[in-house]
Structure 1
Amino acid sequence: MKKVFEAIYDDHRIQVENRWFAGEKLYVDGELQDENLGLAFRGTLNGKLRNNNNETKSIKVTIGGSFSIHCKIFIDNVLISSYQVKTSR
């Protein structure tokens, strides 16, 4: 089963893919920044956002859950709003 979560932050598209047996992936503006491979019940992904002034902000994603998968996205340690965009088998 595949779940995809997405957030928009400062005109950047942050996308997180979760596949039960294939692991998790973090994309920023379509570019792969981090991945965990294999089966995991809780995962953490890290990445960077770069703005027009060449300043960077850190991205931290936590994924986990017992009966359903939840995704939290943090930018510089502040939780931002995200939503699930796709579920497929």
Structure 2
Amino acid sequence: MRSEWIANYENEEIKITNNWFTGEKLFINNELQDEQLNFITPSAMTGIITTKKGEKLAVKTNISGFFSTSCRLFVDNKKVALKKVK
């Protein structure tokens, strides 16, 4: 089973993928920022967005669920809406 979520935050594309075989991955502008390969511990991935002003914003995300997965995304400690595409 594969799930994928996408969000745009200040012209930065954030993509989170979940796959039974390759694990969970966090991409920012198609660059891998973090991944989790096991399913025993709770999902928690982090990354960094560098704004045009040079500010570094913390990105964190987590995936939960077993039969149906859900994902949450936070940038600079504020929840960001995600769109599930797969």
* Matches of 2:78 and 2:31, distance apart in 1: 22
Aligned-pair distance for 1:41?
6.9
> Runs of at least 4 residues of structure 1 off by over 4 A?
none
* Matches of 1:43 and 1:54, distance apart in 2: 29
**Quick one: which amino acid aligns to residue 36 of structure 2?**
N
**Alignment of 1:11 onto 2:11:** yes
Q: Decide whether the 8 Å contact of 1:41 with 1:64 is kept in 2.
A: no
1:49 is matched with 49
- SS at structure 1 position matched to 2:43: strand
The TM-score, its normalising length taken from structure 1, stands at 0.89
Aligned-pair distance for 1:47?
0.3
2:23 is matched with 23
* Matches of 2:40 and 2:7, distance apart in 1: 22
2:85 is matched with 85
* Matches of 2:31 and 2:22, distance apart in 1: 18
- SS at structure 1 position matched to 2:44: strand
RMSD: 1.3
1:71 is matched with 71
5+ residue gaps in structure 1? Answer: none
Question: Structure 1 44/23 Cα, relative in aligned 2: closer, same or farther at 3 Å?
Answer: same
The TM-score, its normalising length taken from structure 2, stands at 0.92
- SS at structure 1 position matched to 2:5: strand
**Which protein is richer in strand relative to its size?**
1
